[in-house]
Structure 1
Amino acid sequence: MRAVRYHGTRDIRVEGEVEEPVCGVGEVKIRPAFVGICGSDIHEYLHGPATVPCTPHPITGEQMSVTLGHEFSGTIIEIGEGMTKAKVGDRVAVKPNLFDGGCAACLGGWVNCRKNFGFVGFSGDAGGLSDYVVVKEKQAIRLPEGFPLNLGALVEPLTVAWHVVNHGSIQDARTALVVGAGPIGLAVLLVLKARGMESMVVTEISPERRELASTLGATHVLDPQTEDVVTKVCAMTGDAGADVAFECSAVQAGLDTAVKGIRARGTVTIVSLYGEKPVIDALGVVLREKHVAGAVIYEDGDFEAAIEAIWSGMSIST
């Protein structure tokens, strides 16, 4: 079969003689329909390998080269033994995270925070950029009848945003600051809008992304290159600052803006995966009793909740 394979920095190849995967016990074979390109894919291409294993992966036992694609939808064409729910013909979005279940985080039920990090599309031969892919049944999340498969490929990044907002202490929050309007920042904006956030301030250097943020419902869109974002946010909030902020830019300046831009006892949720470790104004956090938290991928139930939210019309994506 054909597959898009990652061989190292700036070395991605479309290969036509990759061995077709075999559907085993408790597994399903999927014909991918639509596949998203994640920022992490671009990072691997330009600067990697980082997530892609150079030595045998602790979960899959595989290493470079790997088949890419972790944001994807498709149709089940074959089921292995031991199936309980999946059927041939089901249209699904794939939940790509892998975990071994043995570390303290997994045993505590926090599989998204596991010690051994793995992903379909990064950690072995399985990946959505191929003619066929085999995954565990529990990773093939069934889409409602009539759910478009192109929208199905957006479920994974939208679920990241769903999880982020779940952990963002938005109860009673009226103003949210979203720093960075890339795909995840825009997805966070969509979820905040779906949750009824009153005021959503987005800061972004790209004019195209600023325009898109405005189209998708941001109440204020700021250019940090020409505007003092913190001063503007304080002016909007009676000199208090935003109730919550979501750092989606992956740059030091963005983190600084998020931390400075929230009110006393406000919460910053860091979504970004930084190439270089940032620093934080710890004294400013302490003196204003601010909260800084992290959120990574998603946990059990998030995929289903995001699909239901999209399908029920909570998100303007539909």
Structure 2
Amino acid sequence: MKAAVWHGVKDIRVEDVELRALREDEVKVKVAWAGICGSDLHEYQEGPVFIPVDQKADLTKEIAPLTMGHEFAGVIEEVGSMVTNYKVGDRVVINPTLTYRKKHEDLDRYDGFNFIGLHGDGGFATYANVPESNVHRLADNLTLQDGALVEPMAVAVQAVKDAGVTLGDSVAVFGAGPIGLLTVIAAKASGASKVIVLDLSDDRLEKAKELGATHIINSGKEDPVQAVRAIVPDGVDVSFEVAGVAPTFKQAIDVTKARGNMMIISIFARPIEWNPIHLTNTGVNVLSSIVYTPTMFQRTIDAMSTGQLNPQGIITSQIKLDEIVEKGFEALTNDKNQSKILVELSGVK
């Protein structure tokens, strides 16, 4: 079968690979659509960040080169002998997080933490074998394209919950990439009254406005801290760092009110220099959120099904698997008009 395989920095190859044998607790999914994530882009541009290269990953027992892709949905084509909750023909979306599953689920997401598509073979392929425990049934009124958006939407939903956004809150989002845009959607759905988005790209800022941002600020054209404080003089209730660079990390703290929360969602591929006295002087709480619980993943599907969450607006391109480097990773690297690019596998909707 065809698959997009990571071999190294700027070295992703679409090649023929053999799907490993299906295990008794797994389902074989014929992939319909898969999204390119910011984490995938980090691996392409400057990896390895998560991808195991020196030794096998703890939970998957796999090592590079491996098939990428962790935002995907498809149709079950085969079930293992121990699978009880799913059958051939079921439309499903994959929760790609793998943990030891020994703790309360809110803590479990920090226990082990391997990722289908980063620590082991994923969904940029014709087929993917995944554990039954990582499969969620897709609501009947959602398309398989919608299914490819569940995973990144769940990241934003979990982060907004963890940050404590409530009715009437003011929010600042630093970074209008896909997760930043989805954070706008999740914050609005949670009742935020002011959602201020900051980015260097006017095109991305306009997209943020389309998706619900009440204010947009180009950080390259005006001082971001002064601009936010002009809107909310005492500082926002919650800020989200979704850019993953030192300047926005510090600015997100500076725009947040005393005892407010600054939430880190972004992946910092490299260390930054920062003095914690910044917090001592401002009284801001710095929080972080990684992925989501299985419950929050399911709630994201449910909220998309009822129309409470509508992430479809972040899709900017649909491409074929053979085009994934040039029209996928390179386009996301060079074209700031791009947000979420979906890769067509079977193309079933």
Using structure 1 for the length normalisation, give the TM-score.
Answer: 0.93
After TM superposition, the structure 1 = structure 2 runs for residues 216-227 of structure 1, keeping only pairs within 5 Å, are 216-227=211-222
Partner of 2:3: 3
What is the count of residue pairs matched by the alignment?
310
CA change 1:262–1:281 in 2 (3 A) is farther
Question: Which of 203, 208, 211 in structure 1 is aligned with 2:203?
Answer: 208
Contact 1:243 1:267 (C-alpha < 8 Å) held by counterparts: yes
Does 2:38 align with 1:42?
no
CA distance in 2, matches of 1:203, 1:57: 36
> SS of the residue aligned with 2:294?
coil
CA distance in 1, matches of 2:307, 2:78: 31
CA distance in 2, matches of 1:25, 1:276: 39
After TM superposition, the structure 1 = structure 2 runs for residues 99-110 of structure 1, keeping only pairs within 5 Å, are 99-101=99-101, 106-109=102-105, 110=107
Partner of 1:112: 109
CA distance in 2, matches of 1:170, 1:317: 19
After TM superposition, the structure 1 = structure 2 runs for residues 39-188 of structure 1, keeping only pairs within 5 Å, are 39-54=38-53, 55-101=55-101, 106-109=102-105, 110-114=107-111, 116-124=112-120, 126-171=121-166, 174-188=169-183
CA distance in 2, matches of 1:56, 1:315: 37
Deviations 1:256-314 (A, max 9, x none): 11000011111000111112222445334223321111111111211101111111111
> SS of the residue aligned with 1:107?
coil
Give every structure 1 segment of 4 or more consecutive aligned residues whose post-TM-superposition deviation is greater than 6 Å. none
CA distance in 2, matches of 1:34, 1:172: 34
Shift of 1:173: 5.1
Alignment-mate amino acid for residue 286 of structure 1: T
| Structure 1 spans left out of the alignment, 5+ residues | none
Partner of 1:232: 227
Contact 1:246 1:258 (C-alpha < 8 Å) held by counterparts: yes
Identity %: 36
Does 2:287 align with 1:263?
no
- Over the aligned positions, Cα root-mean-square deviation in angstroms equals 1.5
> SS of the residue aligned with 2:63?
coil
CA distance in 2, matches of 1:317, 1:282: 35
Deviations 1:5-63 (A, max 9, x none): 111122111112x2233322121110000011111112212212221111222212221
CA distance in 2, matches of 1:209, 1:89: 38
CA distance in 2, matches of 1:284, 1:44: 31
Does 2:308 align with 1:314?
yes
Alignment-mate amino acid for residue 201 of structure 1: I
Contact 1:173 1:243 (C-alpha < 8 Å) held by counterparts: no
Using structure 2 for the length normalisation, give the TM-score.
Answer: 0.85
CA distance in 1, matches of 2:279, 2:158: 24
> SS of the residue aligned with 2:109?
helix
CA distance in 2, matches of 1:64, 1:309: 36
Shift of 1:221: 0.2
Contact 1:173 1:244 (C-alpha < 8 Å) held by counterparts: no
